[in-house]
Structure 1
Amino acid sequence: MSDIPYNQERFFLDVVLDNAEDAIVYVDKDGIIQLLTQTYADFLRVDRQWAIGRHITEVIDNTRMHIVARTGVPEYNAVQEINGQNTVVKRIPVYRNGAVVGAIGRVIFRNLDDLTELYEQISSMTHQLNLYKEEFDRSHRARFSMDSIIGEDPIMKEIKEQALRFARSNSTLLILGESGTGKDVIAQAVHANSARSEAPFLKINCAGIPAELLESELFGYSEGAFTGAVKGGKIGKFMAADGGTVLLDEIGELPMNMQVKLLRFLQEKVIEPIGSTESIPVDVRVIAATNRNLEEMIAEGLFRLDLFYRLNVLSIVMPPLRKRVADIAPLCYHFAEIIAEREKIPFRGFSLEALTLLKAYPFPGNVRELENIVERALNDMRPGEDILRKEHLSGKVLGIRADRVPENLELIVETAEKNAISDALLICRGNKSRAAQLLGVSRTSFYDKMRKYELI
């Protein structure tokens, strides 16, 4: 029997020991068992009352509890064979008034196979977590750097220099410009050239998220914040981008109630998830972009003046493509080479006439429209063709109306001959002999054709 006197406290202790799920034993300084949980007794296959009062070595195989009780030296994560099973245990000395009075032992794992299985589960979970983290990092990295921006025009060179200066700052940046001018690209380039480049870059389309969901997307929510809320809550985009950059695209479409919340975040740099009273500090740089005239919206009461000032600390105005004509040819080649490689389309270049027409087109859709026109033209090339010519371009670039009367066949043949000669000269860098050879005609015939079409 145990030496611990039976009283009300001992009664409650017995209730705990009867119902505890852990395998625990306590011995006095002489190694006599004073307390034993029913779980441990079941594991040992002994009667609990029989075991209490006996020396620990009579009840548990290969035990060292009596040694720990005598020396006061704890033993952690020790492997001990009990009933033919390898278990993991810990043995801790118990002190009273500075002296060792006993020891308490606990079985951490009743079978090493359980430990191996747990280790494998944890390893698998860690591996999955790392995969998710890597995927998140990959999908939220800036895809464009300053070197990715095609710009030979003096206007774009100045924009790139300005963007590089602004990349050194953590101040908010407002990027203005028509749709398709590359506001997203310049924002990513600023992030990629900043000290935050290794942290996430998250883009949020303020017009693409329903107004009632926008707050939870930006700031997150706590568990039970509303019906249908995910268990455990959800972090918002600002917290997900902590240490990095958030691009608020189409900021002009932000509802007025969200403008107030965004203003508070920009002022205090803290977020408060929906359903929570906790203010969480977040370190992100905010870049905003819009094709709207925010000053007109302010005058109409659609955009807050104080938010405009917070966003417009630094600003970049992206020029429309029609104002940077010198970039049209480099952009055409840039997109054509990417698309041709992706779609496995043979491509060697543009004819001079095609480039001239493209430079004359106003591109109301800017760079995005140029990419679309080039892709369509490449796909319109016939087998054996590798020069993108005038006839591959869409009617809107050529200025052709749907009701236009077709030209006669002779004129079409002459146009084709003229284009072929122009293309050959372009490919052969003006070498007429090589151009004639490329077209499979004599040099005399080639010169006659050049005179006919006034190419000399």
Structure 2
Amino acid sequence: MENKDALLEMYKTIFELVYNWVVVVDKDGYVRMINEGYCKFLETTPKEAIGKHVTEVIENTRMHIVVKTGEREIGDIQKIKGNKMIADRIPIRKDGEIIGGVGTVLFKDVVELDTYVKRVNVLEKEVDFYKRELKRLLGNEDSFDRIIGISEAIEGVKELAKQVAATKSNVLLLGESGTGKGLFATAIHNASARNEYPLIKVNCAAIPEALLESELFGYEQGAFTGAKKGGKLGKFELANKSTIFLDEIGEMPLNMQAKLLKAIQEKEIDRVGGEKSQKVDVRIIAATNQDLKEMVENKKFREDLYYRLNVISIKIPPLRERKEDIPLLINFLIKRLSKEMNKFVTEITPMAMDCLMNYHWQGNIRELENVIERAFNLVDKEARIALQHLPKSMTNPHGNKGSRKSKTLKATLEEVEKNLIRRTLKENKYNKYQTAKALGISRTSLYEKIQKYNLYAR
């Protein structure tokens, strides 16, 4: 009995302390409970209000209607004493029958609601800001717009990657070192439904074999000597509901490949030293510059894991197969490095460009970035990159393996122009006026170039 009395007293206290104004009526619409705050506003007391019909106590009320219809009314505007209030009215049922109703005033007036909405908007903007900052700090800002190029080779790959981004399937990125596999992984994640969470990156080649399992799956307290107090979350747990990017997947040891396969198949992981498995919802994007098929044949990579990862494979072309993109990439790098290095460089000389166009680019875009950054350090008052700012291994024709097979500067620039016009025509559905306007040339010039490159609609 004492417990029931104490519980009843607690309910009464809560009823009086809640921020909202509350009234409770019986099935006939007579007031059975009303809190002190509501009474003060109505200029009455609980003693005076209880027992009266709700229409005698609250102006413009619909509580007596709600207990008759049994239909709840949410977020209704009710005018009381000249104030527009936001009210909820909910019927109370017991064993399927209506025995009364409860009404609450959520906002004392519309101005209060407006203030609340503004506060929520401010909080949402703050959350969005911190999400963007987190992505920036983790290096996860990149989108498909950051993948520079207009060549058919790169455009086709970008289009495929955009389609893949909308799915939940695992992706295998193939390509030589420096082709931009990490950039593609980030762009795919950011274009997916998982982009609310950060992309978790793991370089399988950079983590010692002995630490790889605990790095991927975490560990419990006391799992081994030197383990942190409280244990540690693994990358897979951090990537729950998000995406994990496993770079250099070909470097993963065979014993870890078996554990990764188990995590993919069962969608759960086992912490080192843990007794219970934990469910995880993770999408995997893996990348390698190795021939995984050949590694499977040589028993250096598990065949079952290969097929789990290779649901959709995307091969990123090397720079030497998309040389028409080099001028665009150089222009982008000049603008970016000018800001980063606070150095005024505006252009590159035709001879220097010709040299870079004829180079083999074994290191792909990463090598191009290094060459342009090196040139920035050597440029002085001339404010442009010239032949003397490039490495001698490039300017020496005998040291340039790709020079004999490469196109001339004129042919390459014409190919860039052709691809740009073709793409712009497609974007504007072959509307010549809109295409010329987008390209910044006259319609006469556009007609000449369409004829020159045979770019008629097919």
TM-score band by shorter chain is 0.5 to 0.7
Cα distance change, pair 73–259 in 1 and its aligned pair in 2 (3 A)? same
- Give the Å deviation of 1:140: 3.6
SS of 2:200's partner is strand
1:139 matched to 2:132? The reply is no
Match of 1:86 in 2: none
Match of 1:91 in 2: none
SS of 2:9's partner is coil
Match of 2:387 in 1: 390
TM-score (norm 2): 0.59
- Give the Å deviation of 1:350: 1.1
Match of 2:245 in 1: 247
Would you say the 8 A contact 2:177–2:289 is kept in 1?
Answer: yes
CA shift digits 1:33-89 (9 cap, x unpaired): xxxxxxxxxxxxxxxxxxxxxxxxxxxxxxxxxxx979962387999xxxxxxxxxx
Would you say the 8 A contact 2:244–2:284 is kept in 1?
Answer: yes
Match of 1:54 in 2: none
Would you say the 8 A contact 2:172–2:309 is kept in 1?
Answer: yes
Q: Aligned AA for 1:392?
A: H
Q: How does 1:236-385 map to 2 (within 5 A)?
A: 236-382=234-380, 384-385=381-382
Counterpart pick for 1:185 among 180, 183, 186: 183
Measure, in 1, the Cα distance between the counterparts of 2:350 and 2:132: 46
1:231 matched to 2:167? The reply is no
CA shift digits 1:429-451 (9 cap, x unpaired): xxxxxxxxxxxxxxxxxxxxxxx
Measure, in 2, the Cα distance between the counterparts of 1:327 and 1:272: 46
Identity over aligned pairs, percent:
45
Match of 2:208 in 1: 210
Would you say the 8 A contact 1:349–1:388 is kept in 2?
Answer: yes
Cα distance change, pair 286–69 in 1 and its aligned pair in 2 (3 A)? closer
Q: Aligned AA for 2:370?
A: N
Measure, in 2, the Cα distance between the counterparts of 1:226 and 1:247: 27
- Give the Å deviation of 1:139: 3.3
Q: Aligned AA for 1:292?
A: Q
Would you say the 8 A contact 1:164–1:193 is kept in 2?
Answer: yes
- Work out the number of aligned pairs and report it: 288
- Give the Å deviation of 1:225: 1.4
Would you say the 8 A contact 1:141–1:200 is kept in 2?
Answer: no
- Give the Å deviation of 1:277: 2.1
Would you say the 8 A contact 1:200–1:243 is kept in 2?
Answer: no
Cα distance change, pair 135–276 in 1 and its aligned pair in 2 (3 A)? farther
What runs of 5+ residues in structure 2 fail to find an aligned partner?
Answer: 18-128, 400-458
Q: How does 1:191-206 map to 2 (within 5 A)?
A: 191-206=189-204
Measure, in 2, the Cα distance between the counterparts of 1:236 and 1:166: 26
- Give the Å deviation of 1:143: 2.4
1:153 matched to 2:89? The reply is no
- Give the Å deviation of 1:161: 0.3
SS of 2:185's partner is helix
Q: Aligned AA for 1:333?
A: N
- Give the Å deviation of 1:138: 4.8
Measure, in 1, the Cα distance between the counterparts of 2:7 and 2:194: 55
Measure, in 2, the Cα distance between the counterparts of 1:216 and 1:303: 21
Cα distance change, pair 350–72 in 1 and its aligned pair in 2 (3 A)? closer
What runs of 5+ residues in structure 1 fail to find an aligned partner?
Answer: 1-27, 30-67, 80-130, 403-456
Measure, in 1, the Cα distance between the counterparts of 2:377 and 2:217: 44
SS of 2:273's partner is coil
Cα distance change, pair 306–72 in 1 and its aligned pair in 2 (3 A)? closer
Would you say the 8 A contact 2:334–2:346 is kept in 1?
Answer: no
- Give the Å deviation of 1:175: 0.4
CA shift digits 1:79-138 (9 cap, x unpaired): 9xxxxxxxxxxxxxxxxxxxxxxxxxxxxxxxxxxxxxxxxxxxxxxxxxxx99997655
Measure, in 1, the Cα distance between the counterparts of 2:390 and 2:188: 34
Q: Aligned AA for 2:264?
A: L
Q: Aligned AA for 2:284?
A: V
Q: Aligned AA for 2:319?
A: L
- Give the Å deviation of 1:348: 1.6
Q: Aligned AA for 2:9?
A: V
- Give the Å deviation of 1:141: 5.9
1:73 matched to 2:9? The reply is yes
Cα distance change, pair 141–363 in 1 and its aligned pair in 2 (3 A)? closer
Larger radius of gyration: 1
Measure, in 2, the Cα distance between the counterparts of 1:275 and 1:386: 60
Match of 1:97 in 2: none
Measure, in 2, the Cα distance between the counterparts of 1:300 and 1:146: 36
Match of 1:221 in 2: 219
Measure, in 1, the Cα distance between the counterparts of 2:270 and 2:240: 14
Measure, in 2, the Cα distance between the counterparts of 1:377 and 1:157: 29
Would you say the 8 A contact 1:216–1:273 is kept in 2?
Answer: yes
